[in-house]
Structure 1
Amino acid sequence: MVDSLFTLMPLLLFLSVCLVLLWGYPVALSLAGVSLIFVAIGATTGMIEPIQLNFLPGRLYKIMERSTLIAVPLFIFMGLMLERTKIAEDLLDSMATLFGKLRGGMGFAVTIVGMLLAASTGIVGATVVTMGLLSLPAMIKRGYQPELATGVICASGTLGQIIPPSIVLVLLGDVLANSMTEAKSLGLQTDQVASIGDLFMGAVIPGMILVVGYMLYIAFVAWRRPQAAPAIEFDDKVDMRTVIWKALINLSMPLILIVAVLGSILYGIATPTEAAAIGALGAILLAVLRRKLTLARLLDVMRSTVKTTSMVFLILIGASIFSLVFRMYGGDELIRHFFTDLPGGLFTALLIIMLVMFLLGFILDFIEITFVVVPIVGPVLLMMGADPIWLGILIAINLQTSFLTPPFGFALFYLRGVAPKSIRTSQIYRGVIPFIAIQIVVLAMIAAWPSLATWLPAYVSG
C-alpha cells in the first residue's frame, strides 16, 4: 500500500500545487508550502527521510551565487527606465503617421513598435498597457475592428517574451544550464551548452518570423475586409519630410540601446550579464538626454526593480524546494522512465511536453512553468538527444502563448484594465485567437527545422 502510494506522490504533489495556485495563493509560498506539507506526510508514513532536506540550504546558496541571474534585475531596471521615459508614445505617434495611409497601417505601426520595445525593454505588462492606452482608442475611433485592434496590441506586447533581451530567456538559460549539468551527471556525453547568450542569438530569427507572421495576418485582414482595418486620412498640410525626420530621431534611441546590448553579446564583447549592465546604464543616459531623469523617477524605478526581482527570486527558491521534494519521492525517475518508454522517442516526448506546457499556460504564469516544469523534463529531453538551444527556443515560444491564452493570459488582463468600457472581454479573447494560431505555426516550424534556432548561434561561434 505504501509503495503504491509512494509512486503516486509526485503526481499528487504536482496536482496539489496547481490546485493551490488556482485558489489564488502566492506562487512562491504555494510551491514551498505544499512541498513541505508533502515532506511531513512522507516523514509521518515513513515514505521518505526528512534528513534529505539538509541539501536545501546548499541548493538555495547556489541559486544566490549564480552570476548569470544578476542580469535579471539589470534588464528589469533597463526596461522600467525606458518605459518611464515615454519612448513608446513618441514611437507610436511617428509610426502611426508613417503607416497610417495604408490599410492596416496602424496595425503595422503597433507591431513594429511592439518589436522595438521588446528588443529594448522586454517588459510585457508595460508594453501592453502603454500601447493599450495610446493606440487602442485611436484605432477604434478610426474604424478598426475591436477584435483586430485588441489582438494586435496583445500579441505585439508579448514579443518581449521571445525577442532578446528577454527575462524568459535569461531564466530559461539558467534552468537549462542546470538541466545540462544534471544530464551529464546521469551519463550524457556532450560538449553542447545553452548559455543565455546562445539563447539570445537563437531567438532572433524565430522572433522576426513571428513579427512577419503578425504583419502578414494584418495585411490579409486589410485585404479581405478593408472595413476592419481602414486607412487613415491625414491633413494635407502634414509635412512628410518632418514626419520622417521625427520618426528617425525617435527610432534612433531604442535602436542605439538595442545595438549596444545585443551587439555586445553577438560580437563577444560582453557576457549577457555585462550587456545587461550596459543596457541599464544606456537607459539612464537616454533618460538624461530626454530630460526625463529625476530623483523621484529614479527611486520609483529602483523600488519597482527590487519588487519584481524579489518576486522572481522568491519563486525560484520555492521552485527549488518543490523540485527537491519531487525528487525525494522519485519523481525524476518516474518522468524519465515514462518518456524513454514512449514509442516515437524524442518526437513523441517533445510533443507531449509542448502540449502540457501549452495547456498549463491557460492557468499558470511563464515563471511558474519555467521553474517548476522545465527542471523536471529538461534533463530527460537532453538525455534523449534534444539540442539545448533548440529546446530553449521551443519552450520560450510556447511560454509566450501563456500570455495570450484565455482565461488567465496576463496580456489579456493588462489590456482589459486599460481598454475602454465599450470593448467587451469576449472581443479581446476572440482577437488573440489568430495570433495564438500564428505562434503555434511558428512553434511547429522551429520543431520541424531546428536550424531556424541553432544556425545563428553556430555561425557567431564559428
Structure 2
Amino acid sequence: MLGTIFLGIATPTEGGAMGAMAALIMGFARGRLNMTLLTQALASTTKLASFVMFIMIGATTFSLVFQAADGPKWVEHLLTGLPGGQVGFLIVVNVMIFFLAFFLDYFELSFIVVPLLGPVAEKMGIDLIWFGVLLAVNMQTSFMHPPFGFALFFLRSVAPDKQYVDKVTHKVIEPVTTMQIYKGAIPFVLIQLVMVGTLIAFPGIVTGALDKPVVVDMQKVGDQLQEQLNDAGGGYGADNPFGAPEGGEEGSASPDAPKDGSQPAPEAPSADTGYGSDDPAKALQDSLTPTPAAK
C-alpha cells in the first residue's frame, strides 16, 4: 500500500482504505474472519480515531488561547533573534523537535508545535515544503525511542518474551528483552539524524523535483507590446500582427490605390457597422496608419 502512496496513485487515506480491504480479504480467505475479530478491529479503530480527534480539539483550543495572548509574536521574536540566521534557526528547531519527541508523539508535534514554527520559517525565507519534509524526518525518530516509541511497542508485541523451541532448527531461542529492543533501535535513530543533517546540507534533494514558479517580467511584456504597436503603425511588415491588407499580397499595392502615390481618401463609415471595413483588424490597422499632412 505504501507503494501506491509513493507513486502518487493513492492518497494516504485511500492507501489506508486499501490496506483495510486487503486485511478483510486475507482474513476471509484464511477463514479467520469472524464477528469477534471484526468487533475487536472496530473497537481499536474507534479508540484511535477518538484519540486523534481529542488531540485536534486540544490543539485547536491551545492555538486559540496562544494566539489571543500574542504567543506567536513571542515565538517569532525568540526564533528570529537566534544567531546564525536560517542555519541557527534550523539547528535549534531540529534539536527541540528531537527532544520533544521523547515526551510527545507525532500527532501532538504535528498539531501543536509545527503551526508555531511554520510562520517563522516562512518569514525567514525558508521553503515551507522543504521545511515540512525536514520536520517529518525528524519527528519519525519519535517512533523509535522511548517512552512513546510506537515501533518499539509493536516489536515488543511480536517478540518472544519466553524461551521457546524453534520448529525448524529445534533450538531453544532465548526471549527478547525490552532493553535489547531499545538498544537495537539506536542505529536507526542515528540514521534518521544523519538524514536530517543531509536535508539541511542538500535541500535540493527535496526541492529539486518541485515545479519552479513562473516569473513574469511585466516590463518586458510592456516593451514587446510597444514594439508590436510601433511595427503596426509603420506599415505592413513581417512583424505586423494584423497581416497583409485585403486585395493583395503583403507588400503589394492595393488596386484601388492612386498611381501617383498619394494617400487615398478614407472610406465613408458604413451605415450598419459604423466603420469603413467589415474587417475589424483592418479597421484598427487603418486607424494606426499615419496620414500625411494636408498641403
Q: TM-score band (shorter)?
A: 0.5 to 0.7
CA-CA distance at 1:308 after TM superposition:
0.5
The percent identity for this pair of structures is 43
Deviation (angstroms), 1:457: 5.5
1:407 to partner: Cα distance: 4.8
Q: In structure 2, what is the Cα distance between the partners aligned to 1:283 and 1:386?
A: 41
- Give yes or no for the alignment of 1:330 onto 2:70: yes
Secondary structure, counterpart of 2:82 in structure 1? coil
Shift of 1:319: 1.1
Tell me the residue number matched to 1:404.
Answer: 144
Partner of 1:446: 199
**Of the candidates 369, 380, 383, which is equivalent to residue 120 of structure 2?**
380
Counterpart Cα distance in 2 of 1:275 and 1:437: 29
Which residue is 1:348 aligned to? 88
Amino acid at match of 1:437: L
Q: CA deviation at 1:450?
A: 2.0
Mark the runs of 5 or more structure 2 residues left unpaired by the alignment. Answer: 163-174, 213-295
Structure 1 length as normaliser, TM-score?
0.39
Q: Which amino acid aligns with 2:161?
A: P
Contact 1:262 1:275 in 2 (8 A): no
Partner Cα separation in structure 1 for residue 11 and residue 144 of structure 2: 31
Q: 2:98 aligns with which of 358, 377, 393?
A: 358
1:281 Cα deviation after fit: 3.6
Q: Which one has the bigger helix percentage?
A: 1
- Give the deviation of 1:290 after TM superposition: 4.4
| Correspondences of 1:46-57 after superposition (within 5 Å) | none
- Report the Cα distance in structure 2 between the residues aligned to 1:289 and 1:413, rounded to whole angstroms: 29
What amino acid maps onto 1:409 in structure 2?
Answer: G
1:36-435 matched pairs, under 5 angstroms = 120=1, 164=2, 258-259=3-4, 262-263=6-7, 266-267=8-9, 272-416=12-156, 418-420=159-161, 422-435=175-188
Amino acid at match of 1:429: Y
Residue 353 (structure 1) shift: 0.8
For 1:413 and 1:315, how far apart are their aligned partners in 2?
A: 21
Which amino acid is 1:440 matched to? L
Contact 1:362/1:402 (8 A) holds in 2: yes
Give the number of equivalent residue pairs. Answer: 199
Higher gyration radius (CA)? 2
Q: Taking structure 1 as reference, are residues 394 and 303 closer, same or farther at Cα in structure 2, changes over 3 Å only?
A: same
Q: Match of 2:270?
A: none
Tell me the amino acid that sits aligned with residue 453 of structure 1: V
Distance change >3 Å, CA 419–CA 399, structure 1 → 2: farther
- Structure 1 vs Structure 2 CA RMSD: 2.8
Contact 1:336 1:380 in 2 (8 A): yes
Report the Cα offset of residue 314 of structure 1: 0.6
Asked whether the equivalents of residues 366 and 399 of structure 1 are also in contact (C-alpha less than 8 Å), the reply is yes
* Distance in 1 of aligned mates of 2:54 and 2:93: 25
Aligned counterparts of 2:147 and 2:12: Cα–Cα separation in 1? 34
Paired letter, 2:200: A
Structure 1 CA distance, aligned partners of 2:112 and 2:33?
38
Query: What residue ranges of structure 1 are gaps of 5+ in the alignment?
Result: 1-119, 121-163, 165-257
Cα distance 1:283–1:456, how it changes in 2: closer, same or farther (>3 A)?
farther
Any idea what the Cα deviations from partners look like across 1:98-117, whole Å, max 9, x if unmatched? xxxxxxxxxxxxxxxxxxxx
Classify the secondary structure of the residue corresponding to 2:136.
helix
Cα deviation, residue 343, structure 1: 2.8
Q: Quick check: 1:404–1:432 contact (8 Å CA) kept in 2?
A: yes
Greater RCO, 1 or 2 (C-alpha within 8 Å, sep 6+): 1
TM-score (norm 2): 0.58
CA distance in 2, matches of 1:370, 1:336: 18
